[in-house]
Structure 1
Amino acid sequence: MRLFGASLFVLKAIIWLPIAVYVPALTFNQVSGIGIHTITPIVIIICTFYTCVGGLKGVVYTDVVQSVIMYGSLVIIMIKGTLDLGGLDVVLQRNSEGGRLNTPELTMDPTVRISVFSVFVGGTIFKLQSTSINQATVQRFMSLPTLKSIKQTLITFSIGLTFLYLGCVYVGLVCYATYFDCDPMSTGLAGRRDQLVPLLVMRVLGVVPGLPGLFVSAVFSAALSSLSTLLNSLAAVILEDFVKPRMGKGMQERHVALTMRLVVVTFGVSSIFMVYVVEKLGMVLQLSATLQSSLYGPMLGIFTVGMLMPWVGEKSVFTGSVISFFTMAWIAVNAQIANITGTFQHTKLPVSVENCEYDFDMSRYSNSTAEYEPHKGTSVYHMSFLLYALLGSLLTIVFANLATFVFGRQDIKDVDENLLAPFVQRYLRKKNNYYETVELKSAEVLKIPETSD
């Protein structure tokens, strides 16, 4: 099971690393005009270098600086963009008139991309897997001195992440309010939806020398932070789970350092070539969430079974996780094919080009308006990407329990109590105390009294 879990993490890293590289390259391309495949190797070389030299300590210190830059630039864009439009009232009014101030749909239909169910249920499970079983996150937690420090860090992280998401949502509102009567996608000014915010930055911050560079540095900071963290965790996993068990105690310190650096360099270089694949697969946010959830959903199920269901043995868990993994891989692959080929489309709101101040090919606008169709598609791989983690974990749990009918139930007494959730530990202690009391009373009742001669 440990090797299977480590393999899932390595696979996730191989797929996700180029996505993290592609985002800043796309932004830099929109701002400077330099090709995506020119800037990609530079980003990876820089990140690989300081990850190899600094290790986890270097990663954490650079993450702090990068986070400050990232939040600072986001705040500047929010404030400057709002002031340029004439205030918060204008932003809200334009978004309201354009139908952008809408709440998630109140429906249980899993194929609705953004619904109350997918956002609050699926989104919660998605963030649960990224903070509770993610090697990169757990590795950072383990570097802290006490459990209290870990809890404080988790609370601070959750609050900071919430504000970051809210800030990104507001930047989206500012972006629409800025281009509400001249859509850049329809005119060809932006080639992809992921380039809309960089385009907004050039318009809002371009009048002040250096500010667009601040935004680009923020995007690079976020990407480098993710890259360095994942590369460091990847090196640790490969070393501990794949190399050390085969090398044994004969592995010296210099061998450890060399192995970890070799892993970082190898996977860093491979990301350069994977970028060519990522740029063909659609929106970055949805792609990232889809791939992470389809791989980490089964992992979340494994940990859930291990902590809450001590009667399920290793063979049963492995069976459930393998079934879940292949099912989610099938769904994820078909979902990407459906998005690329257009066989599945989500509802898109109309746009306008009425007041564009530059010339463009009007046929592009005609083609873009044809895209705004109602939501259609009912296959299982048309489900919302926010529900992938939930489905993957549920499949693992269900099939792991069903497999106990084949492989048998595990004796609860053989399970290490420290591996179980606290409330499960308390329940088992009470149960054991109850049976011990019953056995003691039964022994007293059946005890034959001694007779004197």
Structure 2
Amino acid sequence: MIAGLLAMFIKGILVVGGFQNLNSALIKGGRHTLTRFDYGVLGRVSPLARIFGGFVGTLVTDGTSQLSIQRFQSCSTTSQARRASCVTMVTGSMISVALTAIGLVCYALYESCDPIESGEIETIDQLIPYTALILFQGIPGITGLYFAAIASAALSTVSSTINSTAINVVEDFLCSFWNRLRKCQSLKVTLGKISVAILGFMSMALAIVTSYSSSNIFQLTYTITAITLGPSTGLFIMGLFIPKTNAKGATLAFVISVAFGVFMFVGHEFFKDTYQDVILPTYTHGCLYDNVTEVTNATASIELFTSSSQGPEHSTIQNLYNLNFNMHALILLVGSVIIGYPLSLVTGPADPAMCDPKLFVPIVDNKRLPASVRTFFRFGVPEQDEWDNRSPQIFTIILEDKM
């Protein structure tokens, strides 16, 4: 996939005429928005929201999702899992940079002839395939190889996701309600295959439904995954750092956060105002040319459009609908923690003395710190040595008292 993206970027730079022409096109079109932080977190364009949302999004997808956890568990040692995580971060960063660079090249290619406005394509999601056809049309076989690289990468991710989700359904749901299933491996395999088939059909149905959405596929995917992965990451944070969190509080927090996420998603998709979106102009005055190179070399004499309209005043609910989609996962993550901890205290907090130290991560822990400071930040969770030296009868007595 990286090779395919790199080939597309190099070919695009050659067609545009070099990095100098690319930079000139970006300056004329006002596309140098990376360091502009005056957009806030409302509207479509928000570097600030992208930074914070991107951090949480990476934490969610690469740290606590079922797909990532299953891959970490396949590693034989912790150090091996860490190395795999580092490789993932490097390759993921390379793909992100390559996609951003291709996006800049695409703008320079269609600077004076926007393919959507001219009717060449219908949605922004078709821009990359359309550009690949244009760039590689004179090189036999390259277009097919490019689409094969993209398709293989997509199929790999989809198959891994469906497989991990099917395992999650069988092990965490079906086996929980049907204890006899744990002893019958053949039945578990059969149910796993059925789950894969059902999830596959659901994925295809979802792909068909999303094709009718007004949002682009990146925005839609990020918003939908934030509904579940944001609250689930909150569960991980409460479990790792807050030992008094109990099952009731965590479950209620998860349900409330998911419901609020659905509320934000529906409002963002159907009731969002667009006046706060910074819509940079696109042009079609160069569409009379047939050759791509001539189109990109055409000069634009149209002034950069800026709107002086401030738009109507809105309520807090409407501003919530207008919130940048990158912020959804962050809000749901923080919200689940803020809701889950008080609910745990109200419903009966868990006993930190009964928490396994292997499942607890102190916020502050350094052997150079005083013992009193380290003890304070353990919040009552015993040290590993103390936990190992405890007599099994102690746990039996404590459990009997709770029952």
The normalised TM-score by structure 2 is: 0.81
2:260 to 327, 334, 339: 327
> Letter of the aligned partner of 1:335 in structure 2?
H
| Residue pair 1:181, 1:355 contacting (<8 A) in 2 also | yes
1:310 aligns with 2:243: yes
Do the aligned partners of residues 265 and 215 (structure 1) sit closer, same or farther apart at CA in structure 2, a change above 3 Å counting?
A: same
Post-superposition Cα deviations, 1:159-181, rounded to whole Å, max 9, x if no partner, equal: 11111111101101111111111
1:161 aligns with 2:113: no
Do the aligned partners of residues 253 and 226 (structure 1) sit closer, same or farther apart at CA in structure 2, a change above 3 Å counting?
A: same
Distance 2:278 2:289 in 1: 28
1:418 aligns with 358
Do the aligned partners of residues 337 and 372 (structure 1) sit closer, same or farther apart at CA in structure 2, a change above 3 Å counting?
A: farther
Q: Give how far 1:228 is off.
A: 0.3
> Letter of the aligned partner of 1:257 in structure 2?
V
* 1:73-152 to 2 correspondences below 5 Å: 73-107=4-38, 109-152=40-83
What secondary structure sits across from 2:60 in the alignment? helix
Q: Alignment RMSD, CA only? A: 2.6
* 1:1-40 to 2 correspondences below 5 Å: none
Do the aligned partners of residues 229 and 372 (structure 1) sit closer, same or farther apart at CA in structure 2, a change above 3 Å counting?
A: farther
Post-superposition Cα deviations, 1:199-235, rounded to whole Å, max 9, x if no partner, equal: 1111111110111112211221222012101111011
What secondary structure sits across from 1:185 in the alignment? coil
Do the aligned partners of residues 85 and 425 (structure 1) sit closer, same or farther apart at CA in structure 2, a change above 3 Å counting?
A: closer
More displaced, 412-421 or 109-118?
109-118
Aligned length in residues = 353
1:293 aligns with 2:293: no
Percent pairwise identity: 25
1:272 aligns with 204
Do the aligned partners of residues 183 and 431 (structure 1) sit closer, same or farther apart at CA in structure 2, a change above 3 Å counting?
A: closer
Do the aligned partners of residues 268 and 405 (structure 1) sit closer, same or farther apart at CA in structure 2, a change above 3 Å counting?
A: closer
| Residue pair 1:299, 1:321 contacting (<8 A) in 2 also | yes
Higher helix share: 1
| Residue pair 1:131, 1:137 contacting (<8 A) in 2 also | yes
Post-superposition Cα deviations, 1:340-383, rounded to whole Å, max 9, x if no partner, equal: xx656621111111121369xxxxxxxxx9x9967967521211
Do the aligned partners of residues 425 and 291 (structure 1) sit closer, same or farther apart at CA in structure 2, a change above 3 Å counting?
A: same
| Residue pair 1:347, 1:375 contacting (<8 A) in 2 also | no
Distance 1:394 1:431 in 2: 21
Post-superposition Cα deviations, 1:119-154, rounded to whole Å, max 9, x if no partner, equal: 222210111011111001110111111111111111
2:146 aligns with 215
What secondary structure sits across from 1:186 in the alignment? coil
Q: Give how far 1:402 is off.
A: 2.4
Do the aligned partners of residues 223 and 305 (structure 1) sit closer, same or farther apart at CA in structure 2, a change above 3 Å counting?
A: same
Q: Give how far 1:274 is off.
A: 2.9
2:397 aligns with none
More displaced, 248-257 or 78-87?
248-257
For structure 2, the 5+ residue unaligned runs are 291-302, 367-373, 384-403
Do the aligned partners of residues 267 and 404 (structure 1) sit closer, same or farther apart at CA in structure 2, a change above 3 Å counting?
A: closer
What secondary structure sits across from 1:184 in the alignment? coil
Distance 1:125 1:352 in 2: 35
The normalised TM-score by structure 1 is: 0.72
1:194 to 90, 101, 125: 125
For structure 1, the 5+ residue unaligned runs are 1-69, 360-368, 435-453
